[in-house]
Amino acid sequence: MKPQKPAVTELELHAYVDGKLPEKRQDEVATFLATNTLESERMDAYRKQNELLHALFDPVLAEPVPAKWQTAGRYRGYLLRQVLAASVCLVAGAALGWTLRGKYGANSAGNLNFAKQAAIAHAVYTPEVRHPVEVAAEEEQHLVNWLSKRLGSPLKIPHLSSLGYELVGGRLLPSDRGPVAQFMYQDKNGQRLTLYVRTDTAADHETAFRFAQEGNVGVFYWIDRRLSYALSGEVAKEELLRVANAVYQKLNP
Amino acid sequence: MDDTKGIATHIPQLRRYARALTGDYSAAEDLVQDTLERAWKRFGLWRSGSNLRAWLFTIMHNIFLNQVRTAPHNQNQPADHLAPHGWGSRTPEERLELEDLSKALRRLPNEQREVILLIGLEQLSYDETAKVLGIPIGTVMSRLSRGREQLRTIMNSTSGASQLKVVK
């Protein structure tokens, strides 16, 4: 034995107490401790600390979880409050935008608002069980004709079945720049996405995809000729982008 | 949205940690509530397949840290709300030991208590603990080492069963 050289590090002693050493090393440390009373006592004390912590706090694990923490119901409540907060921001933002619009171009602020409005519309209508849409997918032709007429542009509804999303239907919504169409899709788990479409006569051009995160709702939005699109969903950004790409391709075959 | 149900499976552990961390029943329940709200809100940012438990503890740590910064005087209060579940079945010596530990825990700096609890109670790995707290693993180990030693010193110096234990 070479007692002057520390055989075991402080880190290893703690790992020994926490049972995080490989088995072989665990045995070696045990052998070391058998010949070192002071360290052995210290490790016993630390192990005792862990035992007492469990004795003190493990009973918390058995406490019944309050109903408000069972995700779905609680989450809906949360979403609603978030929507209300967002609405307040929107009203304030709209008022501010109105006063500033003479002085500054409304371009970037307008885009930002567009994504926000899409997210709000998404958050308001996707939790609906009985009335998620005004016109259901069964009347798709009527839906297209009606909304095309109101928006003053021929609309197309992209079919996303190949991506696992079925059309639920659509509705007409108001916005600060006139009527907006919202189409809703749903996958087999009930996960809903909405496509928000607005006529933009001033913007006769194309933009790249842009992304905005509005609270829990992610939004990819873009302009394609005379129409602005926003795809909203509470899904991972990659998934949303995958669907946004498909929407774009289906609208531009 | 279905995936957020995965969060619910970690609630008991989050509660245990919050209770031990704050030493106060209602402060702990508030901490869990805040953690869940933030987790639901930011669930889109959690990378599917990565460690959900560690992600939730990270959120809780950040909220706790923020609370400590904004209201430092509310911390380290005596632990008077730790409901002594099942203490009836324990011997007086055991109860004294538990009380000693509970009090000693409150006297530790937050940063040491967090490390001791994440590792000793929640059984996170040293790596996970470093990630949750956003510190290098070397710092985790030095906090663990100092914290455990301080806890031992405090417990040895207080009257109670722990002292009897050492003599025995």
Taking residue B8's Cβ as centre, other Cβ atoms within 10 Å add up to 15
What pLDDT does A175 receive?
83
The answer to whether the beta carbons of residues A121 and A127 sit under 8 Å apart is no
- How far, in Å, are A47, A203, B74 from residue A151 at the CA level? 71, 15, 57
The answer, yes or no, to whether residue A214 has pLDDT greater than 60, is yes
State which amino acid sits at residue B48: S
Cβ(B150)–Cβ(B158) under 8 Å? no
Q: Which domains does chain A have, with CATH numbers?
A: 10-62 (no CATH), 102-251 (3.30.200.100)
DSSP B110-121: HHHHHHHIIIII
Of A11, A52, A78, the CB nearest to B40: A78
Mark residue B134 as left, alpha or beta (left: phi above 0; alpha: psi -120 to 50; beta: remaining): left
Digit-coded pLDDT (tens) for A157-211: 999 998 899 999 999 998 878 889 999 999 888 889 999 999 876 665 777 788 8
DSSP code of B158? S
The pLDDT profile of chain B, 168 residues, written as one tens digit per residue, is: 445 678 888 999 999 999 999 988 889 999 999 999 888 888 777 776 678 899 999 999 999 999 888 765 544 454 444 444 555 567 778 888 888 899 999 999 999 999 999 999 999 999 999 999 999 999 999 999 999 999 999 988 875 544 444 444
Q: Which residues of A touch B (CB under 8 A)?
A: 10-11, 14-15, 18, 20, 42, 45-46, 49-50, 52-63, 65, 69-72, 74-75, 78, 82, 189-191, 213, 215-216, 218, 234-237
Q: Which of residues 96-155 of B touch A (CB under 8 A)?
A: 97-98, 101-102, 116-117, 119-121, 123, 125-126, 141, 144-145, 148-149, 151-152, 155
Both structure tokens of B64: 């706790």
Interface with A, mutate which of B148, B157, B165, B166 (most A CBs under 10 A): B148
CB A80, CB A124: distance < 8 Å: no
Asked whether this chain's domains B1-83 and B89-168 adopt the same fold, the reply is no
pLDDT at A74 exceeding the cut of 50: no
Which chain A residues are closer than 8 Å to B128 by Cβ? none
pLDDT at residue A243 is higher than 60:
yes
Residue A110 pLDDT level (bands cut at 50, 70, 90): low
What residues contact B27, with CB distance under 8 A and at least 6 apart? B18, B74
A75 vs B1, B120, B121: nearest CB: B1
Task: Identify the three-state secondary structure at position B86.
Answer: coil
Q: In Å, how far from its chain's centre is CA B40?
A: 22
Q: Reply yes or no on whether the pLDDT at A86 is more than 60.
A: no
pLDDT digits (tens, 9 = 90+) for A129-164: 777 888 888 888 889 999 999 888 889 999 999 889
CA A172 to chain centre: 25
* Each residue's pLDDT tens digit, A4-38: 445 789 999 999 999 999 999 999 999 999 999 99
Q: How far apart are CA A175 and CA B118, in angstroms?
A: 50
DSSP alpha helix (H) spans, chain B: 5-8, 11-22, 25-41, 52-70, 92-107, 110-116, 126-133, 137-157, 161-167
Q: Residue A240 is which amino acid?
A: L
The DSSP secondary-structure symbol of A156 reads -
Determine whether the interchain pair A60/B145 forms a contact, defined as Cβ–Cβ distance below 8 Å.
Answer: no
* CA distances to A213, B55, B139, B164 from A107, in Å: 19, 38, 49, 76
Interchain pair B20, A53: CB under 8 A: yes
Q: Are B152 and B159 in contact (CB under 8 A)?
A: no
Q: Whole-angstrom Cα distance, residue B163 to residue A45?
A: 11
Q: b/e string for B71-87 if b means 16 or more Cβ within 10 A?
A: eeeebbeebeebeeeee
Q: Residue A202: what pLDDT? A: 67
Q: Which candidate from A56, A78, A236 shows the least CB-CB separation from B37?
A: A78
Read off φ and ψ for residue A225, nearest 5 degrees. 55, -120
- With pLDDT > 70 as the criterion, what percentage of chain A qualifies? 79
Instruction: Report the alpha-carbon distance of residue B115 to residue B103 in Å, rounded.
Output: 17
Q: Where are the domains positioned within chain B? A: 1-83, 89-168
Report the run of H or E that residue A245 belongs to, with start and end: helix A237-251
Q: pTM (2 decimals)?
A: 0.55
Task: Find how far residue A42's CA is from the centre of its chain.
Answer: 48
What whole-number distance in Å separates Cα of residue B93 and Cα of residue B108? 23
Inter-chain contact A75–B15, Cβ cutoff 8 Å? no
Higher-confidence residue of A107 and B63: namely B63
pLDDT of A101 over the 50 cut: no
For residue A88, the model assigns a pLDDT of 52
Chain A residues touching B11 at Cβ < 8 A: 65, 69
Between CA A17 and CA A45 the distance in angstroms is 10
In terms of Cα–Cα distance, which of B124, B141, B147 is closest to A12?
B141
pLDDT at A65 over 90: no
**Mean pLDDT, chain A, as a whole number?**
81
Give A212's strand partners.
Answer: A219
What class has domain B89-168?
Answer: mainly alpha
pLDDT given for residue A96 in this prediction: 45
Collapse the DSSP code of B132 into the 3-class scheme (helix H, G, I; strand E, B; otherwise coil) and give the result: helix
pLDDT at residue A204 in the model: 56
Which residue did the predictor score with more confidence, A78 or A103? A78
B139: which residues sit within 8 A by CB, 6+ positions away? B130
The reply to whether CATH 1.10.1740.10 applies to domain B1-83 is yes
Q: Above 80 in pLDDT, residue A70?
A: no
Q: Does position A3 have pLDDT exceeding 70, yes or no?
A: no
Window from A50-64, A231-245, B41-55, B107-121 with minimum mean pLDDT = B41-55
pLDDT of residue A103: 37
